[in-house]
């Protein structure tokens, strides 16, 4: 069966500026937004720039905003829209546009680089590392992250606040900290302190928008951020720890 013709608006432009361009394009049963972008490239807009790789929701490349919502283009079914709905596709808003739907996400790589690497106990050879299965499983959820950066793009702390970017690592790197915090062999960095003092955990006011957009359904806020915050608070107000720190500082 032949598909139907649907209306699309796609943002075209570069760092200097741009605008929405109107298209009418064939849509077939079972297709996703990325299929339509590819059809536009093949038929009407050969120079339309888009980043993608797996078309299976696993590489995290095809992040874009579809009708204003941060989504993966390859996992957004055309059937999820009303038959007469105009579908508007724009680049991620939090990161600088390179061209059309492609943004410069290097903010995230910088934050990744700043996060201290996994650091096991000194002097213990790798063959002697032991981990219980229960410890492996605790942080398994966080290792499902595909680094699509949809959570980073959505968080209001940086979405409209360029000035906060330097001091705020963002939800993806809070769950990285939480993951390492749960790792029994990661002993050389206090991840809670680091998150609070260096990653800007205090900026997060638990709006949970990051969790809502995560295509891997990672409970970023409930399982990653909130436990990190609670434990930071615990330590600050635990009189013994507090006293211990005071004495230690002298």
Contacts to ligand SF4 by CB under 6 A: 145-151, 172, 175, 213-216, 218, 220
CB of 150 to ligand SF4, least distance (A): 4
Q: Which is nearer to ligand FES, 32 or 158 (CB)?
A: 32
CB of 66 to ligand SF4, least distance (A): 15
Residue with tokens 């980073």: 152
Quick check: 217 binds ligand FES (CB under 6 A)? no
Per-residue contact flags (x/-) with ligand F3S for residues 221 to 250, judged by CB under 6 A: x---x-------------------------
The CA–CA distances, whole Å, from 14 to 49, 99, 248 equal 10, 4, 54
Instruction: Give the count of residues interacting with ligand FES (CB under 6 A).
Output: 12
Q: Which is nearer to ligand SF4, 172 or 191 (CB)?
A: 172
**Contact pick of 9, 138, 208, 235 for ligand F3S (by CB under 6 A):** 208
Q: Which is nearer to ligand F3S, 135 or 147 (CB)?
A: 147
Partner that binds at residue 227, options ligand F3S, ligand FES, ligand SF4, none, CB closer than 5 to 8 Å by kind: none
Paired tokens of 245: 């720190």
Quick check: 220 binds ligand FES (CB under 6 A)? no
Quick check: 61 binds ligand FES (CB under 6 A)? yes
CB of 155 to ligand SF4, least distance (A): 10
Q: Which is nearer to ligand SF4, 171 or 192 (CB)?
A: 171
Partner that binds at residue 177, options ligand SF4, ligand FES, ligand F3S, none, CB closer than 5 to 8 Å by kind: none
Residue with tokens 């874009």: 64
Could you list the residues that contact ligand FES (CB under 6 A)?
52-55, 57-62, 72, 74
């Amino acid at each position: 069966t032949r598909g139907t013709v649907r209306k699309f608006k796609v943002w075209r432009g570069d760092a200097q500026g741009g605008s929405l361009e109107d298209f009418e394009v064939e849509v077939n049963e079972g297709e996703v937004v990325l299929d339509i972008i590819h059809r536009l490239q093949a038929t009407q807009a050969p120079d339309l720039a888009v980043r993608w790789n797996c078309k299976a929701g696993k590489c995290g490349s095809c992040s874009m905003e579809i009708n204003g919502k941060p989504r993966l283009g390859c996992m957004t079914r055309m059937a999820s829209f009303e038959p007469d709905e105009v579908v508007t596709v724009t680049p991620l808003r939090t990161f600088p546009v390179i061209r059309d739907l492609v943004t410069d996400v290097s903010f995230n790589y910088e934050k990744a680089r700043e996060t201290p690497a996994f650091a096991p106990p000194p002097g213990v050879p790798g063959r002697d590392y032991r981990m219980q299965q229960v410890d492996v499983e605790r942080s398994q959820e966080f290792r499902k992250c595909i680094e699509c950066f949809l959570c980073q793009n959505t968080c209001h702390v940086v979405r409209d606040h360029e000035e906060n970017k330097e001091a705020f690592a963002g939800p993806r790197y809070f769950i990285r900290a939480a993951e390492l915090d749960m790792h029994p062999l990661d002993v050389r960095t206090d991840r809670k302190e680091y998150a609070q003092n260096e990653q800007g955990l205090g900026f997060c006011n638990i709006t949970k928008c990051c969790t809502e957009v995560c295509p891997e359904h990672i409970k970023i806020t409930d399982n990653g951020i909130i436990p990190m915050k609670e434990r930071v608070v615990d330590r600050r107000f635990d009189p013994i720890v507090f006293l211990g720190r005071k004495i230690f500082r002298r």
